[in-house]
């Protein structure tokens, strides 16, 4: 091959992306990795999130997303992961079966590893079903984060208190609705109506229902 032919070949390779075509298999592999990473990350955040009503009460957020935002991320990538993971499995079935049966060098049987893995999974399953350690420790940790959100100053007077219309919330607090409405208007709060919920009014004013509650309680 002379120098001219060599240059032409190199030019064609650059034009064709270094001689490579866009391949489906690595695309699926990358999608599987990325969706798993997002799934695991959002899963950890979900582990740390407070229970629904308390999350709304303190206006809980992590990295700018609220509870339902993280649940949406987790559910979305759960679906993506199931789909691309399944395709990844099918595309690599032969290699996976060889790896799981004869090992990567095709010289050994993995019976001992198979038995130990099955045993570990079975022990964890029993521990999960009977709620005994170590799985019970995991669930105790979850309960802690569920019931003690960062930023909780005062517990809501009743479950889903933030969903009550302002009038009912004020009555339950022993306040006169019309007087408090005037006080809040004078303070410059927006979106005020006795029929709107504490949560809606708080959101309108970039505060949490808890902060609004504490403000009202001071009057
Ligand atoms: C990759 C590691 C994963 C981690 C760390 C993780 C963690 C979590 C946690 C902590 C929760 C909340 C449980 C609770 O409310 O107490 C959750 C919910 C959930 N997870 Fe995962 N998860 C993972 C993978 C998956 C996968 C692979 C799927 C689907 C195949 C999945 C589907 C779901 C669904 C549907 C929920 C309910 C979400 C909701 O409340 O709307 N997760 N996950």
Query: What three-state secondary structure class fits 17?
Result: coil
**With contact defined as beta carbons under 8 Å apart, do 158 and 172 qualify?**
yes
Neighbour tally for 162: CB within 10 Å: 26
Give pLDDT, residue 74: 98
Where the chain has pLDDT below 70, the residues are 1-19, 103-107
CA of 188 to the centre of ligand 1 (A): 42
Give pLDDT, residue 14: 43
**With contact defined as beta carbons under 8 Å apart, do 180 and 91 qualify?**
no
Give pLDDT, residue 101: 78
Neighbour tally for 99: CB within 10 Å: 13
Task: Dump pLDDT digits (tens) for 73-125.
Answer: 999 999 999 999 999 999 999 988 888 877 666 667 778 888 999 999 999 99
Give pLDDT, residue 110: 75
Which amino acid residue places its CA nearest to atom 6 of ligand 1?
Answer: 43
* Residue 91 CB-half CA count within 13 A: 14
Query: What three-state secondary structure class fits 178?
Result: helix
Ligand 1: residues with CB < 6 A are 39-40, 43-44, 46-47, 71, 74-75, 78, 81-82, 142
CA of 26 to the centre of ligand 1 (A): 26
Give pLDDT, residue 102: 75
Name residues whose C-beta falls within 8 Å of residue 142's C-beta, 6 or more positions apart in sequence.
47
Query: What three-state secondary structure class fits 62?
Result: strand
Q: Give the span between the Cα atoms of 37 and 47, in whole angstroms.
A: 15
Give pLDDT, residue 104: 61
CA of 40 to the centre of ligand 1 (A): 8
Give pLDDT, residue 114: 85
DSSP state letter for 156: -
Give pLDDT, residue 111: 80
Task: Dump pLDDT digits (tens) for 143-152.
Answer: 999 999 989 9
Q: Helix-strand-coil percent breakdown of the chain, rounded to 5?
A: 70, 5, 30
Give pLDDT, residue 20: 74
């Amino acid at each position: 091959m002379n120098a001219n032919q060599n240059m032409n070949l190199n030019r064609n390779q650059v034009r064709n992306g270094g001689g490579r075509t866009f391949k489906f298999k690595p695309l699926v592999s990358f999608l599987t990795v990325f969706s798993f990473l997002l799934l695991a990350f959002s899963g950890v955040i979900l582990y740390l999130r407070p229970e629904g009503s308390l999350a709304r009460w303190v206006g809980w957020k992590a990295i700018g997303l609220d509870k339902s935002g993280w649940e949406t991320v987790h559910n979305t990538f759960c679906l993506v992961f199931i789909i691309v993971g399944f395709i990844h499995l099918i595309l690599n079935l032969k290699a996976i079966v060889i790896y799981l049966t004869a090992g990567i060098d095709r010289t050994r049987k993995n019976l001992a590893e198979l038995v130990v893995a099955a045993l570990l999974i079975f022990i964890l399953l029993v521990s999960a079903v009977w709620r005994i350690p170590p799985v019970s420790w995991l669930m105790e940790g979850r309960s802690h984060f569920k019931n003690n959100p960062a930023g909780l100053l005062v517990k809501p007077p009743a479950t889903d208190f933030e969903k009550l219309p302002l009038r009912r919330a004020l009555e339950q607090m022993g306040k006169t609705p019309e007087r408090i409405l005037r006080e809040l208007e004078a303070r410059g709060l927006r979106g005020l109506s006795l029929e709107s919920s504490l949560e809606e009014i708080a959101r309108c004013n970039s505060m949490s229902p808890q902060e609004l509650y504490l403000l009202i309680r001071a009057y």
